[in-house]
């Protein structure tokens, strides 16, 4: 089998929250595999810094995914001025850490709004074009918190579990038009924010380390390489999968 089936040459990927962390790692991997990328986020300075790193196969749009009314215009703009969106990566999301009894209705709704409702709205709009072309790859970025219970993240964990249901249902409607829908469930991936958080909570850090079967945390490029595979022709018969990339954390005791 030729390695060209893993190439994304000629493809255009829209990656939400693509300016930092996992989103930036996915953007780098996709560019290295031949794709052009459009990254979105709320902070233009962050996006400009990312574009400097990513190079001339990248562009950006300042966008808040919670602005659902603006989503059709965003997608239409990219389709008309940059090109057809072949790959959508729903990476942007927010976190809320608090015990369930200290999580307000407003906190819960805010997490669901960003991590589920906005994801569906953008997916629906991109799919409108993909279904017409009978081609497309849609990726959700889930979490370990969507696979097993983790304390103090009730809203976040519920939102990531909901993405599995979204994947399952969209597969039943999109697959006949060759639009594939999959999810990646990252484990604990190194970033400045993550390292600062766990280094300030030694007990939590030890709990996480004990959970991972391998001897190290993941890197953003680990998620990026997985996203490339799932978006490529090598995965042309894969849809409806929630793939943990977690060093064995989901199954380790």
Per the CB < 8 A criterion, the answer to whether 134 and 145 are in contact is: no
**DSSP secondary structure code for residue 5 in this structure:** G
Task: Mark residue 35 as left, alpha or beta (left: phi above 0; alpha: psi -120 to 50; beta: remaining).
Answer: beta
Residue 241 neighbours by CB distance under 10 Å: 14
User: Which of these, 35, 31, 50, 26, lies nearest to 86 by C-alpha position?
Assistant: 35
Catalytic choice (60, 129, 156, 174):
156
Phi, psi of 114 (to 5 degrees): -75, -45
Helix intervals (H) in the chain: 21-32, 44-54, 71-81, 105-112, 118-133, 154-174, 192-199, 202-211, 220-231
How far apart are the two ends of the chain, measured CA to CA in Å? 37
156 given a catalytic annotation: yes
Per the CB < 8 A criterion, the answer to whether 122 and 90 are in contact is: yes
> Which tokens hold the place of 141?
């970025």
Alpha-carbon gap, residue 83 to 146, rounded angstroms: 33
Per the CB < 8 A criterion, the answer to whether 116 and 159 are in contact is: yes
Task: Please list the active-site residues.
Answer: 156
């Amino acid at each position: 089998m030729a390695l060209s089936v893993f190439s994304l040459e000629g493809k255009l990927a829209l990656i939400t929250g693509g300016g930092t962390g996992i989103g930036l790692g996915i953007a780098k991997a996709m560019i290295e595999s031949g794709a052009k990328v459009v990254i979105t986020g709320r902070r233009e300075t962050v996006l400009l810094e990312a574009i400097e790193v990513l190079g001339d196969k990248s562009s950006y749009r300042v966008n808040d995914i919670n602005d659902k009314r603006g989503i059709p215009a965003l997608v239409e703009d990219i389709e008309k001025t940059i090109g057809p969106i072949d790959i959508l990566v729903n990476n942007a999301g927010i976190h809320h850490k608090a015990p369930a009894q200290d999580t307000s209705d407003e906190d819960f709704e805010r997490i669901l709004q960003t991590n589920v409702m906005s994801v569906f709205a953008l997916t629906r709009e991109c799919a409108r074009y993909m279904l017409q072309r009978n081609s497309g790859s849609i990726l959700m970025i889930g979490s370990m918190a969507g696979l097993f219970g983790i304390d103090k993240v009730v809203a976040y964990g519920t939102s990531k579990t909901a993405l599995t249901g979204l994947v399952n249902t969209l597969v039943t409607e999109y697959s006949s038009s060759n639009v594939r829908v999959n999810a990646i469930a990252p484990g604990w991936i190194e970033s400045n924010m993550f390292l600062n958080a766990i280094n300030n909570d030694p007990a939590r850090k030890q709990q996480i380390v004990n959970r991972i079967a391998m001897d190290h945390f993941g890197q953003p490029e680990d998620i990026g390489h997985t996203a490339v595979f799932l978006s490529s022709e090598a995965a042309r018969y894969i849809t409806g999968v929630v793939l943990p990339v977690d060093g064995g954390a989901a199954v380790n005791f």
